[in-house]
Chain A
Amino acid sequence: MKVLSLNFLTCAVKACKSSSSSYPLHPQDAELVQDEIELNPDMLINVLPRLDWTALRTTSSELGFPPLPEQAPTQEELRADEKVLKDLHHLLLETQISEGKLVCANCGHSYAVKEGIANFLLPSHLV
């Protein structure tokens, strides 16, 4: 699963959805693999307005990537900034989480990731 997925995923427990601490989920013991993908600036520029930048900064630092700028660049700024383009491309699209856990800071539930597939099925007491 690409790191960009984490910007769309949240805790599957219904009661957690309204809590801001249930997002983003926190990767633990994550094993990362890298794909090589050709840089596509236009695509990234179109991804930018979809990103929750604050959540992405958290994910990025928890995975041990160099810090992202505090403020999200505008689409124009991103187009002109090859370094941030490359960093985002590498983090969001080339990096995959293959093994590990995704943990909800609200309820503490931990979702296992195996072979790049996270398991969001809940045990019966949490449904």
Chain B
Amino acid sequence: MLPTPDTSHVPYERVYEPAEDSFLLLDTLSSSSETQFLHDTFSSSPALPFVVELGTGSGVVLAFITAHAKTLFGTSHILTAGIDMNAFACRATITTVKKAQADSLADSSTNEITHGMYLGSVMGDLAAPLRNRSVDVLVFNPPYVPTSEMPERPQTFTEDFSPKTTFDDDSYLLALSYAGGADGMETTDRLIDGLPEILSERGCAYVLLCAQNKPEVVKERIRAWGDGWRAETVGSSGKTAGWEKLQIVRIWRDSAP
């Protein structure tokens, strides 16, 4: 078991607290089948992978990936970055990654650097701030809970870190982290539709879905794109009456043989 990053500094009244979904992502990314896939895809490439997490929240997943780069990718030469709409989440993530990198250095028995290079976090809507086709590994724990309406996208909401947010402000920030609209898929659908523009030729995405998101329909839709697009469930938790409550779907393109 790789250590879970410390998030004790995160203000949970306005930033999503790591929960079962976050931990499923950690378990899946560090499972032997996924580390094998990531090693095979990236460890011997001359160009290092660019790893981006959307909706970092506390930063627990991005910090885990950055701190354990060597174990997950077979190389510490990875670049990581985070995007979140919530300024507090961006700020929390910077600290979470910094702590996890320091812990990984302290745990290392040799002096070898085993963590990746974190470039920073920006506020943004999904992958909008990124150059097209630049992301090699995308990780997304979306707002997946079905809700009757979506919170409006932040507009006036600024980069100022006023410590005096109101209870309504905080509730709004938390709603952004979970409210998924119809089928819980309004945000995830926007992301999935954008994947061919976001991912590099060798890129893959890890997206978390819950049973109400109709994961089988989602995977079929991606496969129907053709062009070698694949979508498979690579991790799951919380079986309820034969239904996986949560699952991680890996989406990628089989390169031409």
Q: Are A9 and B79 in contact (CB under 8 A)?
A: no
Contact of B125 among A75, A116, A122 (CB under 8 A): A122
What secondary structure prevails in chain B residues at the interface with A? Answer: loop
In contact, B79 and A127 (Cβ under 8 angstroms): no
Q: What are 8 A-B pairs at a CB distance below 8 A?
A: A9-B129, A38-B113, A50-B48, A117-B87, A117-B91, A117-B94, A117-B159, A121-B153
A8 engages B119 (CB within 8 Å): yes
Contact of A9 among B46, B125, B131, B155 (CB under 8 A): B131
Tell me whether B85 is interfacial, beta carbon within 8 Å.
yes
Q: Contact at A93–B117, with CB atoms within 8 Å? A: yes
Contact residues on A (Cβ < 8 Å of other chain), bracket: 35 or more
A5 touches B120 (CB 8 A): yes
Q: Is the CB of A121 within 8 A of B123?
A: yes
When distances are taken between beta carbons in the complex, the residues of chain A under 8 Å from B61 are none
Q: Is B158 an interface residue (CB 8 A)?
A: yes
Having A114-B160, A117-B159, A119-B124, one finds 4 other A-B pairs with CB under 8 Å, namely A5-B122, A12-B128, A40-B113, A121-B155
A contacts with B: majority SS: mixed
Are B155 and A123 interface neighbours, CB within 8 A? yes
Interface size of B by Cβ–Cβ distance < 8 Å?
Answer: 37
B154 close to chain A: CB less than 8 A = yes
Contact partners of B130 in chain A: CB under 8 A: 8-10
Decide if B161 is an interface residue (CB 8 Å cutoff).
Answer: yes
Name B85's closest neighbour in chain A (CB-CB).
A121
Chain B nearest CB from A70 CB (Å) reads: 22
> B-contacting residues of A (Cβ < 8 Å)?
1-2, 4-5, 8-10, 12, 14, 17, 23, 38, 40, 42-43, 46-47, 49-50, 75, 93, 96, 112, 114-124, 127
Taking the nearest CB of chain A, how far is it from the CB of B17, in angstroms?
Answer: 21
Shortest Cβ distance from A34 into chain B, in angstroms? 15
Complexed CA–CA distance, A17 and B130 (Å): 9
Which chain B residues lie closer than 8 Å to A93 at the CB level? 117
A5 and B81 contacting across the interface, CB-CB below 8 Å: yes
Q: Which residue of B lies closest to A125 (CB)?
A: B155
Complex contact A117–B120 (CB within 8 A): yes
A43:B122 contact, CB within 8 angstroms: no
Interface residues of B in 122-159 (CB under 8 A from A): 122-125, 128-132, 134, 153-155, 157-159
Of all chain B residues, the one with the shortest Cβ separation from A10 is B131
Q: Which residues of A contact B87 (CB under 8 A)?
A: 117, 119
Is B256 close to A, CB under 8 A?
no
Q: Could you tell me the distance in whole angstroms from the C-beta of B179 to the nearest C-beta in chain A?
A: 17
Q: What B residues does A46 contact at CB under 8 A?
A: 46-48, 77
Q: Which residue of A lies closest to B152 (CB)?
A: A124
Residues of B within 8 A of A9 (CB): 122, 129-131
Query: In the complex, what residues of A have CB within 8 A of residue B132's CB?
Result: 17
A104 to chain B, nearest CB (A): 11
Which of chain B's residues have a CB closer than 8 A to the CB of A124?
155
Give the shortest distance, in Å, between B93 (CB) and chain A (any CB).
Answer: 9
Q: Which 3 pairs from chain A and chain B are nearest by CB?
A: A1-B120, A120-B124, A49-B47
Residue numbers in A under 8 Å from B58 (CB-CB): none
